[in-house]
Amino acid sequence: MKNIELKTGKDFNLKQTLECGQCFRWEKIEESEYLIFAEDKACLAKDEKDYLKIQSFNGDEEFWNNYFDLSTDYSKYKEELLRGEPRLSDAILYGGGIRILNQDFFEVLISFIISQNNNIPRIKKCIESISSVYGKPIGIIKGRERFAFPSPDALALADSEELMKLKLGYRSAYIVKAAHKFQIEKVPSGKSDEKYKQILSYYGIGPKVANCISLFGLRDFEAFPIDTWVKRIMVHMYGFDEKDISGMQKFAAEKFGSLGGLAQQYLFYYYRDRKIKK
């Protein structure tokens, strides 16, 4: 156990960063305090004004600083996005503390395969479930044994019947195949469109999930995932026909350029967070 304080500044908000849908292994403890898991690391993080107070169970300062992407200047990104599209101002004001986390590729790969046609609370349960069966124990935290996200080799030993028993549903076969494919191909490299195509070639991964994995697993910021929420936003904001996904994709590329993924996160969080709250 190690206490760490990370300087954050104004373009960071823990709640927004975790609850914008880019990651799933966290538990809210109280307002602005969360228990967070990443790979085989865990920490308790509390968001103070200008710094993040971390009780790390097994990750050093550098790991968490990198995980939360605290050395990147997001005010420049925001200015650039606003120059290209002033209508983003409400969303950026609302979720301006979002950062794109530095997550492990394999963890993102599997997590977003699970995400398809699924809701966020259940996605979290599914991921906890496979972690507790295929991940290695990392110690007792908040009264329970906790587990690392499964390694590729550990998950490759699973079969889809086992995963079905864990309630992973029809995505079970996708997960097993993905673990095998990843063992051979490893983390994609090269130009971003080539990496995207490689991700898309996984069985069970289509354009939406591939874009999420590009954005959250490889930090390709131009990736613009269009899910059911973003679709509605594009219909609402820009008058697209809800079936015209390729039109939306093209529009986003032109309007938001190399920062499409960040724009998408601001919009997704702004729209979904207010819709879902009762």
Which parts of 145-204 interact with DNA (CB under 7 A)?
Answer: 164, 167, 169-170, 202-204
Q: Least distance (Å) from DNA to the CB of residue 223?
A: 10
User: Taking the complex as a whole, how short is the minimal distance between the CB of residue 100 and DNA, in angstroms?
Assistant: 10
**What stretch of H or E contains 3?**
strand 2-7
Exactly one of 65, 208, 259, 263 binds DNA (CB under 7 A); that residue is 208
Tell me if 47 sits within 8 A of 15, measured CB to CB.
yes
What is the Cα–Cα distance from 34 to 54, expressed in whole angstroms?
10
Q: How far apart are CA 266 and CA 252, in angstroms?
A: 13
Closer residue to DNA in complex, CB, 64/216 = 216
Shortest gap between Cβ of 141 and DNA (angstroms)? Answer: 24
CB of 112 to DNA, least distance (A): 7
**Which residue blocks in the chain are alpha helix, DSSP H?**
14-19, 61-67, 74-84, 89-94, 105-115, 120-134, 152-156, 160-165, 172-185, 192-200, 207-212, 218, 228-238, 245-256, 260-276
Please state the closest distance from residue 232 (CB atom) to DNA, in A. 8
Q: Which of 36, 209, 218, 234 binds DNA (CB under 7 A)?
A: 209
- Report long-range pairs for 194-198 (Cβ below 8 Å, ≥24 apart): 195/220, 196/220, 196/223
Stretch touching DNA by CB under 7 A, among 2-10, 32-40, 71-79, 207-215:
207-215
Residue 78, interface with DNA (CB under 7 A)?
no
Min CB(277)–DNA separation in Å: 12
Handedness of CA 197, 191, 222, 115 (dihedral sign): positive
Least separation in angstroms between CB 237 and DNA: 14
Q: 126, 170, 177, 172: which is closest to 152 by C-alpha?
A: 177
Backbone angles phi, psi at 2, to 5 degrees: -140, 135
Site string for DNA, 5-44 (x = CB under 7 A): ---------------xxx----------------------
* Residue list 237-266, contact with DNA (CB under 7 A): 243, 246, 264-265
Are 104 and 39 within 8 A, CB to CB? yes
Binding DNA (rule: CB under 7 A), the pick from 229, 249, 251, 255 is 229
The amino acid sitting at 229 is W
Stretch that binds DNA, among 6-14, 34-42, 144-152, 225-233 (CB under 7 A): 225-233
Q: Which of 7, 28, 76, 122 binds DNA (CB under 7 A)?
A: 122
Paired tokens of 224: 């613009």
Q: Which is nearer to DNA, 70 or 263 (CB)?
A: 263
Can you give the binding site for DNA, defined by CB under 7 A?
20-22, 115-123, 164, 167, 169-170, 202-210, 212, 225-230, 243, 246, 264-265, 268, 272
